A and B are shown apart, each in its own frame.
Chain A
Amino acid sequence: MSQLTIAGNTVDVNEEGYLIDTTQWTEDVAQQIAQEENIQLTDRHFEVLNYLRAKHNEGVPISIRKVGKSGVVDIKEFYKLFPGGPLKKSSRIAGIPKPVSCV
């Protein structure tokens, strides 16, 4: 376990950089992690992140297919918003655990 310092606050992350406690997530945390991933967050990104967080809170496992059918974003745009592994990157930025889905 390691820690990430954001605006004076520390949040706990695992060895892969995913937040351990999702309640520690703030928009600043998202901004900082996104910067590490070389992503400049826009309102569109936050719409996706909020969707992912809502699904996670409902206990629904997330997959590319579900995101594509969410009505929030289609698969093409999802890949464009979070290039190079969208599901993993967006989950990390959204402060939820690494997805375990193979599809």
Chain B
Amino acid sequence: METVLENKPVVDQQEKKPVKKVLVICARGTLEDVYAALIMANGALMEGMEAKMFFTFFGLDAITKVKSDHLHTATVGNPAFMRNLPTMIGGLPGFEALASTMMKKEMDKLDIPEVSEFLEIIDASGGEIYACKLAADMFHLNKEDLIDEVKDIITVGDMYALAEGEGSQIIFV
């Protein structure tokens, strides 16, 4: 006798639960980490999700007026960077700046904006940018030192409130 499955397995009936909102925390000030955070936040906005960004510790460099477009990538202590290059060479004066400039040139070719412009794009796209109060206090930074797109300097508690809601995800860089 043939058995007929009246009900489909539960797995098939499971509803998709899309990500609706992301909070991207950026605690790093190196070029590649900041870009990873920016691209993920902007990518979320492009997909129609809500996106908020929280910059803390060295991540504050990305939203500090005088520093945001001058971030570097590490040429020492970064085994993935030119693996045949002796570490000592990576430590030579000016080497890190040179490598960072070259990396920025490559990114420009791919139409990836500079950090400050990227933050403007995220802001214009409806994303929100926040700075960490504790880190800002530690580095003696005021709102005036930070780029205009920064909405506020907030505590960790406020940060968690940013991630409230269903389908919300926190991404830490």
List chain A positions with a Cβ less than 8 A from chain B.
61, 63-66, 68, 74-76, 79, 83-88, 101-103
Does B170 sit within 8 A of A, measured CB to CB?
no
- Identity of the chain B residue whose Cβ is nearest the Cβ of A68 in the assembled complex: B121
- Identity of the chain A residue whose Cβ is nearest the Cβ of B46 in the assembled complex: A87
8 A-B residue pairings within 8 Å (CB atoms) = A64-B46, A75-B121, A76-B125, A79-B125, A86-B46, A88-B47, A102-B43, A103-B110
Task: Please tell me if the beta carbons of B39 and A101 are within 8 angstroms of each other in the complex.
Answer: no
Partner of A65, one of B39, B48, B113: B113
Q: Which residues from A are CB-within-8-Å of B117?
A: 65
Residue count of chain B within 8 Å CB distance of chain A: 17
Does B12 sit within 8 A of A, measured CB to CB?
no
Task: Please tell me if the beta carbons of B124 and A103 are within 8 angstroms of each other in the complex.
Answer: no
Interface string of B31-63 (1 = CB under 8 A from A): 000000001001101111000000000000000
Does B91 sit within 8 A of A, measured CB to CB?
no
Task: Please tell me if the beta carbons of B47 and A103 are within 8 angstroms of each other in the complex.
Answer: no
List chain B positions with a Cβ less than 8 A from chain A.
39, 42-43, 45-48, 110-113, 117-118, 121, 124-126
- Take A65-B113, A88-B46, A101-B111 as given contacts and tell me if A74 and B39 are in contact as well, using a CB distance cutoff of 8 Å: no
- Identity of the chain A residue whose Cβ is nearest the Cβ of B43 in the assembled complex: A102
Task: Please tell me if the beta carbons of A85 and B48 are within 8 angstroms of each other in the complex.
Answer: yes
- Take A83-B48, A85-B48 as given contacts and tell me if A103 and B125 are in contact as well, using a CB distance cutoff of 8 Å: no
Task: Please tell me if the beta carbons of A102 and B48 are within 8 angstroms of each other in the complex.
Answer: no
Task: Please tell me if the beta carbons of A68 and B124 are within 8 angstroms of each other in the complex.
Answer: yes
CA distance A65 to B112 in the complex (A): 8
Task: Please tell me if the beta carbons of B47 and A85 are within 8 angstroms of each other in the complex.
Answer: yes
Q: Which residues from B are CB-within-8-Å of A74?
A: 124
CA distance A19 to B124 in the complex (A): 29
Task: Please tell me if the beta carbons of A103 and B126 are within 8 angstroms of each other in the complex.
Answer: no
Task: Please tell me if the beta carbons of A75 and B125 are within 8 angstroms of each other in the complex.
Answer: yes
- Take A64-B121, A65-B111 as given contacts and tell me if A103 and B39 are in contact as well, using a CB distance cutoff of 8 Å: yes
- The 6 A-B pairs with the shortest beta carbon distances in the complex, nearest first, are A84-B48, A85-B48, A75-B124, A76-B124, A85-B47, A63-B111
CA distance A64 to B44 in the complex (A): 13
CA distance A76 to B122 in the complex (A): 10
Q: Which residues from B are CB-within-8-Å of A64?
A: 42, 46, 121, 125
- Identity of the chain B residue whose Cβ is nearest the Cβ of A99 in the assembled complex: B46
Shortest A44–chain B CB gap in Å is: 17
CA distance A85 to B39 in the complex (A): 15
